[in-house]
Structure 1
Amino acid sequence: MAARQVLLIDDEAAIRTIAKASLQFTRDWNVLTAASGEEGMAIAQSHQPDAILLDVKMPKVDGLATLKALKENTATQQIPVILLTATVKVVAQQQYAQLGAKAVIIKPFDPATLASQIEVALNWNAP
């Protein structure tokens, strides 16, 4: 089976670096990164990743607007999206699910367990 391809959309360079290193090191996944919702949309359409990790709080186009755009676009609507957020409010998490998010991972996340959290959320069986 080919390696999984995950797109990480987050405006914080440090988060992109840590998450990418974590997923490549623990699972040998191919990790694409984007610093904005617009950039993420373009990459999602052209590369069709297996999953998208999406930060909720970003300047200009935030994570929820990006999620909505991904779900409205026929080229990207089938890609599962996991939101990254520092918000632990249950109400917000229910709203995210209604918008089409598969799961929510709370920031700061643990780099050692990030891949496992993604696998559990998406029912990906570890090899």
Structure 2
Amino acid sequence: MIKLLHVDDEADILELTKLSLELSDDFDVVSCSSGKDALLAIEQFIPDVFLLDVMMPGWTGPETLEKLWAIPSLKDVPAIFMTARVSSGSCAELLATGAKEIIAKPFDPMTLGAQIKSAMIK
């Protein structure tokens, strides 16, 4: 079972992602609506992968990732960003943070799990 921490400020995206990933029984998903919530969640849940929205109020996805990776036990957890902005420049900037993959919004719920698994082995 892959433990995934998903951070997105849109409740619909959180719900759709959780439903699509947990249908396969391959994922255990903890959903957070902000970077600050994610920092609280990791006190109880150590993920195998981060799935982070890029544009959020408060901390952005990259800012949240920086704070998560600053915790020694999480520094090697792979990260994937989800964003509607998928220009080559935007993607290059996100990949430069150390993220494994960029998933475009809107995403395909039927292939999301496979995309995440593929990114984790990069």
Aligned 8 A contact 1:84 1:107 in 2: yes
Other-structure match for 1:118: 116
- In the TM superposition, 1:70-89 aligns within 5 A as 70-89=68-87
Question: Which of structure 1's runs of 4+ aligned residues deviate more than 3 A?
Answer: none
Name the residue aligned to 2:16.
18
- 1:44 is displaced (CA, Å) by 3.0
RMSD: 1.5
Cα deviation 1:32-68 (Å, max 9, x = unaligned): 0000011112223531111110000100111111112
Find the aligned partners of 1:44 and 1:92 in 2 and give their Cα distance. Answer: 28
% identity of equivalent residues: 36
TM-score between the two structures when normalised by the length of structure 1: 0.89
- Indicate the SS of the match to 1:75: helix
Specify every segment of 5 or more residues in structure 2 that has no aligned partner in the other structure, as ranges: none
Aligned to 1:39: 37
**Runs of 5+ unmatched residues, structure 1:** none
In structure 1, give the amino acid aligned to 2:84.
Answer: A
Contact 1:45 1:76 in 2 (8 A): no
Distance 2:46 2:34 in 1: 17
TM-score norm. by structure 2 comes to 0.92
